[in-house]
Amino acid sequence: MSKKVPKKAYEQTFSYRVKRWLDGAKDPYLDVVEMKPQPEFKESRVVSEEQKEEKKHLRERIYDTEHNAELRIFRKIYHIFCVMFCVFLMFMLLTAVSYLPTVGHEDRPANNEVSERYIESGLQETGAVNIVTGMILDYRAFDTLGESHVLFVATCTVLILLRLDGKKGRNAVGMEPENDRTFEPKDDVILQTVARILVPPIVIFGIYVILCGHLGPGGGFSGGAIIGAGLILYLNAFGFAKTERFFKASTYKKLSFTALACYTFSKCYSFYTGANHIESVIPLGTPGAILSSGLILVLNICVGIVVAGTMYTFYVMFRKGAY
C-alpha cells in the first residue's frame, strides 16, 4: 500500500481484493450464495447405549468360558487334536531318524568336501588355529554379521517394549511401576564381598576368552556372555547407582553401534578384496600368536562387545525399573 493513495481509494482497487482473498479475510461465497446450515447428525442417545449394552452382553455370553458349552467342547477337541498331532509328529521324526545313517560314522553325507576344505586349508587361508572360529568369522562372516545385528535389533525391541516413560516414572501402559531402585542400595555384605572377589576374575576371563577365540575354544559370543554375567553380578551386588556411572542405555547404544559399524566396514574391505582378487594388506601372521589371523581378532572383539552389552541390557530391562 503506497502512502500517496488514501485508504478508501485503495480499498476499491483490484489489488486490495486480491490481497484479501489471499489472506482469507473474506469468504467470497458468504452472503452471495444462498446457504442452508446442515442439521448436525445426532444419533439417538438411548438407542446407541442400548446397542452398546446389547453388544457387550452378547460378547460376554459368547465368550463366557464357564457357561458356553461350545467353547468348552472346542477346547477339549483342541487338546485331543494337539496330543494326537504331537504323537504323530514324534512318530514321524523317529521314523525318519531310524533311516538316517549311524551317528559318529565317517561316511555320513554331512561330512563332505566342504568340511574337508575347511579343515585342510582353513589354517593357511584364515590363519586361525580354531577352525570353527576361522569358519564363522572368515568364510561365513556374513552370517555372523547378521547374527550380531539380530542381537542388536532384539535389544532395541526390548528397550522399546519395556521402557519406563518420562519424568513421572510411569511406564507405557500407565501403571505405577514397582521399581527395584527403591530398595537400593542393598547392603548385602555377603553378596558384596563375593562380588568384589569374583567380578574382576570373571571379566578378565571373559576378555581372555574373546582374545583367544582364534587360538582355542572361545570367541566373541561366549566371552561376551561371560563379561555380561560379570556385569550382572556387579549390578546385583552394588545397585544401579554404581553401574550407571559407566553403563547406561546410551552407552550400550554407542558401544553396539561402534562395534557393528567396525565389523561391517572391516568385513566390507575383506569382501571387496576377496571378490576382486586383490591382495589384502592385513597380514595373517604366524598361526598360534595372539596377533594373528588377520581380521578375526578385531571381529571377535566387536562381537564380544555387542554380546556383553546385549546380555546386560536384557537383564536390566527384565527387572523392574529400567535403565
Residues 298-317 that bind another protein (CB under 8 A): 314, 317
Distance CA 123, CA 30 (A): 87
Using CB under 8 A, pick the residue from 5, 18, 73, 86 that binds another protein: 86
Q: In sequence order, what are the beta bridge partners of 306?
A: none
- Rule CB under 8 A: is residue 272 a binding residue for another protein? no
Using CB under 8 A, pick the residue from 51, 157, 258, 280 that binds another protein: 157
Compare residues 33 and 96 and give the one whose CB is closer to another protein: 96
Q: How many residues bind another protein (CB under 8 A)?
A: 69
Q: Spell out, one character per residue from 193 to 232, where the chain touches another protein: x when CB under 8 A holds, - when not.
A: -----------------------xx---x-----------
Using CB under 8 A, pick the residue from 1, 9, 21, 85 that binds another protein: 85
Distance CA 265, CA 277 (A): 18
Distance CA 184, CA 26 (A): 66
* 308 contacts 222 by C-beta, under 8 angstroms: no
Using CB under 8 A, pick the residue from 108, 170, 186, 254 that binds another protein: 108
Q: How far is the CB of 93 from another protein (least distance, A)?
A: 4
**Set of cell numbers at residue 123:** 589354517
Q: Phi, psi (5° rounding) for residue 169?
A: 80, 10
Q: How far is the CB of 100 from another protein (least distance, A)?
A: 6
Q: Spell out, one character per residue from 55 to 84, where the chain touches another protein: x when CB under 8 A holds, - when not.
A: xx--xx-xx-x---------x---x--xx-
> How far is CA 120 from each of CA 58, 123, 126, 251, rounded to the nearest angstrom?
71, 7, 11, 42
Cis amide leading into 185 (omega within 30): yes
Compare residues 237 and 306 and give the one whose CB is closer to another protein: 306
- Rule CB under 8 A: is residue 290 a binding residue for another protein? no
Distance CA 63, CA 72 (A): 10
Q: Phi, psi (5° rounding) for residue 62?
A: -65, -45
Using CB under 8 A, pick the residue from 114, 194, 241, 290 that binds another protein: 114
Compare residues 15 and 98 and give the one whose CB is closer to another protein: 98
Compare residues 237 and 297 and give the one whose CB is closer to another protein: 297
Distance CA 310, CA 317 (A): 10
Instruction: Give the residue among 137, 188, 61 at the shortest CA–CA distance from 296.
Output: 137
By three-state DSSP, how is residue 167 classified?
A: coil
Q: What angle do CA 207, 128, 284 make, to 5 degrees?
A: 105
Please return the burial class of 69, using the count of CB atoms within 10 Å of its CB with bins 0-12, 13-18 and 19+.
exposed
Binding window for another protein (CB under 8 A); candidates: 10-18, 35-43, 105-113, 186-194: 105-113
Distance CA 224, CA 305 (A): 6
Residues 116-145 that bind another protein (CB under 8 A): 116, 118-123, 129-132, 135-136, 140, 143
- Rule CB under 8 A: is residue 233 a binding residue for another protein? no
Which spans of this chain sit near another protein (rule: CB under 8 A)?
55-56, 59-60, 62-63, 65, 75, 79, 82-83, 85-87, 89-90, 93-100, 102-106, 108, 110-111, 114-116, 118-123, 129-132, 135-136, 140, 143, 147, 150-151, 153-155, 157-158, 161-162, 171, 173, 175, 216-217, 221, 287, 314, 317-318
